[in-house]
Amino acid sequence: MRKPVIAGNWKMNKTISESIELVNGLKRELIDIQEVEIIVCPVYTALSDISDLIVDSNIFLGAQNVYWKTSGAFTGEISPLMLKDVGCKYAIIGHSERRKYFNESDQSVNKRIKAALREGLTPIFCVGETLEEREANKTTDVVKRQLSEGLEGLEKEALLNLIIAYEPVWAIGTGKTATPEQAQEIHGFIRSWLVENCSEEVAESLRILYGGSVKETNIKELMQQNDIDGALVGGASLDSSSFVGIVKNSLG
């Protein structure tokens, strides 16, 4: 059985006090939920306060990116060691906004994944096609390339500690969710790729999240699909009641 994951990607939103307010609301409403792994990924400046706030709760902390070196002259970057130090268990890696606005490549994504795993962080590795690629029937080619290059050189055992998020770029922040069938098709494709390129064991246990305009009203249907194990939520994770609604509606 794969434990469902609902992760909130806050992107570049919220000051420290706003972040605290949101997490206090989530703690109150979600205190009894043990069946879902609940993750919040605030901005770096709020990580320390949120980490203190969620100690001994059922909410876990993730970062929105990570660099691959441990320390040194890399102005503006943050290392896996530092994220562990502040209490992160997860790091989003290869988000399409990082790829598009900050020129992150499959190769640099691969280095980030390796470094995160080495430090004991669980990467939430994002893949997904643009609208242009989908319309040109290249979705599976693109996802296959992102998977094989992003996971290049990783040991099978290491992959047991990975989460994959399929996020079609055309569905992110646009209000256009992929239909459950469209999402399932690619999730199924990712799982078969894992069987062929890693192992049955990895394919069976690895959680594959869907991301792209997930809301309270569409999570249930998405979760009913065989290969959808949760969601990476952007916009709807910024509001306590809508994130709580998504977590609650994700339960069978």
- Site for ligand PGA, rule CB under 6 A: 9, 167, 172-173, 211-214, 232-236
Phi, psi of 231 (to 5 degrees): -145, 150
Shorter beta-carbon distance to ligand PGA: residue 116 or 127: 127
- Beta-bridge partners for 166: 127, 210
**Residue 213 Cβ vs ligand PGA, minimum distance, rounded to whole Å:** 4
193 three-class SS? helix
Shorter beta-carbon distance to ligand PGA: residue 5 or 172: 172
Place of tokens 């949120």: 50
Rounded-to-integer distance, Cα 54 and Cα 211, Å:
24
Shorter beta-carbon distance to ligand PGA: residue 215 or 248: 215
**Residue 78 Cβ vs ligand PGA, minimum distance, rounded to whole Å:** 19
How many CA atoms lie less than 13 Å away from 230 in the CB half-sphere? Answer: 24
Sign of CA dihedral 111, 146, 247, 36: negative
Rounded-to-integer distance, Cα 43 and Cα 64, Å:
7
Catalytic residues: 95, 167
Phi, psi of 30 (to 5 degrees): -110, 10
**Residue 177 Cβ vs ligand PGA, minimum distance, rounded to whole Å:** 8
Q: Which residue is nearest to ligand PGA (CB)?
A: 234
Which of 201, 204, 230, 244 lies closest to 3, judged by CA?
A: 230
Shorter beta-carbon distance to ligand PGA: residue 46 or 198: 46
Token readout for 63 is 């970062």
Shorter beta-carbon distance to ligand PGA: residue 168 or 203: 168
Buried b (16+ CB within 10 A) or exposed e, 133-169: bbeeeebeebbbebbeebbeeeeeebbeebbbbbbbb
Rounded-to-integer distance, Cα 249 and Cα 252, Å:
7
Shorter beta-carbon distance to ligand PGA: residue 82 or 214: 214
**Residue 175 Cβ vs ligand PGA, minimum distance, rounded to whole Å:** 8
**Residue 214 Cβ vs ligand PGA, minimum distance, rounded to whole Å:** 5
**Residue 174 Cβ vs ligand PGA, minimum distance, rounded to whole Å:** 7
